[in-house]
Every structure is written in structure tokens, then in C-alpha cells.
């Protein structure tokens, strides 16, 4: 084992093995329009019905070149809406930052 490469991985190796790109941190790959979600057990508490839960987090749309930290993602919003009739819907969208719009333009060429 080469200890230097272990402790100082190349940018390419690091981005492929970054703990922020796998497991629970793995980026969501597609946006989702509002979609009905099944409640597998129990019910939505009455106080939550009619409410909305939002979560934002880093989420690189394109695999990063070189070093990556989870603060470097493009940004992704998850929304869960609790409807009055005990239905639940989910929606997920990228935050359209200037940087993401620029990169998307280059990817289309």
C-alpha cells in the first residue's frame, strides 16, 4: 500500500471516493414533479395536515471534477406536503443558481 496516495489522494480519486457522494449523501439524480406518496403505516397527525415540510441540501447535478465537499453542491429542495385528506405529496427540484444555469448551458452544447 502506498501511504502517500492513501493520505493524499489525487483529485480524481478523491472525487470518486468522497464520503459526500455515496450512501446517505448520494446526490438525487432526477427532479420530481408533485407526486402522491403512499403512507405505509399510520396516519398523518392532524396538526400536520395542510402543512409543508421543506428540506434543502447540497446535491451536485453533474459529477464534480476534483476535490468535493458537501457544501459545494448545486442545491436541491425537497418538499413534502401533507394534504387535509391524509394524502401526502412529494416534489424535488434543483435550485437554479447562476452557476447551475451556466453549467447546464455548456452541457447542452
Rounded CA separation 22/33 (Å): 24
Q: Which pTM value belongs to this model? A: 0.71
**58-105 per-position pLDDT tens digit:** 888 887 777 777 787 788 999 999 988 888 999 999 998 888 888 888
Question: pLDDT-derived band of residue 25, with 50, 70 and 90 as boundaries?
Answer: confident
pLDDT at 74: 84
Entry field: residues in the chain:
109
Amino acid at each position: 500500500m502506498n501511504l502517500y496516495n492513501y493520505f493524499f489522494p489525487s483529485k480524481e480519486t478523491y472525487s470518486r471516493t468522497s464520503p459526500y457522494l455515496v450512501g446517505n449523501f448520494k446526490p438525487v439524480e432526477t427532479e420530481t414533479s408533485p407526486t402522491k406518496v403512499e403512507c405505509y403505516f399510520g396516519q398523518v397527525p392532524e396538526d400536520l395536515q395542510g402543512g409543508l415540510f421543506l428540506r434543502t441540501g447540497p446535491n451536485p447535478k453533474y459529477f464534480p471534477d476534483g476535490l468535493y465537499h458537501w457544501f459545494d453542491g448545486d442545491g436541491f429542495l425537497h418538499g413534502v406536503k401533507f394534504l387535509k385528506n391524509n394524502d401526502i405529496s412529494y416534489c424535488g427540484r434543483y435550485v437554479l443558481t447562476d452557476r447551475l444555469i451556466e453549467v447546464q448551458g455548456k452541457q447542452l452544447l
